[in-house]
Structure 1
Amino acid sequence: MSIWADAWTYVSTGVNWTGKHGLTHPTFDGGWKFAHDSIAALTIEHLYMSAAAVITAAAIALPLGMALGHARRGGGLTVMLSNVSRAMPTLALLTLFAASSIGFGNRAVIIAAAIFAFPPILTNAYTGMANVDADVTEAAVGQGLTRLQVALRVELPLAWPLVASGLRTSASQTVATVPLAALVAGGGLGVIINTGLATQAYGQVLAGGVLVAALTLGVDAAMGLLQRRLTPLPLRVGARAVA
């Protein structure tokens, strides 16, 4: 059989989706964890780690980028933080975290992935807020709005397409990077690839790669739809007119 046929056999076998004993199984300490012989369980775990990483990164990067962009200051700091975050190899961070008190497993993966997810959110939040026309913000202040109201009610809606683009990029990149979790005893779809390599089941390796790619494209499409839905209608119409 060819590697493609082996991959199809793997993804079309029902037990590989459900697992031999269900989506979860108990641990020795009385807890539970996702079953690593179930594609469905690994997909859920993959999405959980990715979402946790992006949310963690956004909780820091969005307020920081919006505040610096609103003040029209700190462009150098934003570039420096983004470049430093991008320069850190994710696999090296995973190894360092796993060897530290954080330990092996999903926690180390989420922290490392959050650092990787940080730059596009910060950069786009800063750029979107900083590029809002100063005349618009001055007019809002003249109408009696406070600086906070100007930032949230005027600048953020205008900056939203770029802010949302940063979130979309961050989410897609994170989903594509989380498979590295399998190298430090983490979960997610990378387990399929890692197990296939260890057992020389290259059809399974190919199937895992296709599943990761499909999940990444699906998340990107979903984030694109969310970005469009949350973009104010005048900005959507303006974007179509420019296109």
Structure 2
Amino acid sequence: MSAFFHDLREALHAAGCPPEAIKTEGAPGQIEVTWPYGDPMTACDIYTVHQHAVRHLAAQHKMAPTFMAAPQTGVGSGLHLHVSLWRDEEDSAFWAPQSGVLPEPLQHSVAGLLTALPHLVPLYAPTGNSYKRYRPHSFAPTRFTWGIDNRTCAIRVTGEESNPHLENRLPGADANPYLALAATLAAIIHGIRNQPKLPDPCTGDGYEDVEACEVPRTLDEALTDFVDSSIPSAAFGSDAMDHYVHAGELEVGALAGQVTDIELLRGFDRA
């Protein structure tokens, strides 16, 4: 892996998007790549370049890369988005001058994420496989919760105490970065405009917070929430919404009639 890491780092530097870190993660063959913060569209462009570089270089090293959210049972890969709001290049809207007190823009942003993201799930979990990543105690959230440096939550407030930022842990590695970030920003705007009530932070195991809304268990369930809510069309317009509903329905239909290995394993000799 070290030779692949070296070549990937060199390629990303040459492409003008040097990474902050490249390292192995919890599962065999799983790697994490991070970048310094910057402009949101540029960040999405960099991630897209990175995907092309990974596929090209992996082939040269006789490896097969995948960006599936759940490439194996019990293994999940995420696309965690770290977000902050700025009034200009030197004035963070999340600046917290008083220790232990979240500034109002941050409170409204978190509340908006918890309120709107349940209705925008197909934009950051677009495939049937996406939902197999959301498993208890997997570091992928199963409920729409938030907490301070709590990795069992969907939304984590992290960073320096005086200058925190948000981490959205819901998108999987299979997400389109532009759509996942668009959903995140739409939810933040929803929070700032409508100022929904912010629930108490989760200070323990977010997987056990039965009061919090559950993450959908299937793409079909997520599409139902997407269609029934007014939030997606208000944020993106009805034409865009219809497009992604159609895309999701095609994905559901492609999987619906397929006989899987686990069905054969469980049913071949039992039927």
Using the size of structure 1 for normalisation, the TM-score is 0.26
Normalised TM-score (structure 2): 0.24
- Is the helix fraction higher in 1 or 2? 1
Is the radius of gyration larger for structure 1 or structure 2? 1
By relative contact order (CA 8 Å, sep 6+), the higher-ranking structure is 1
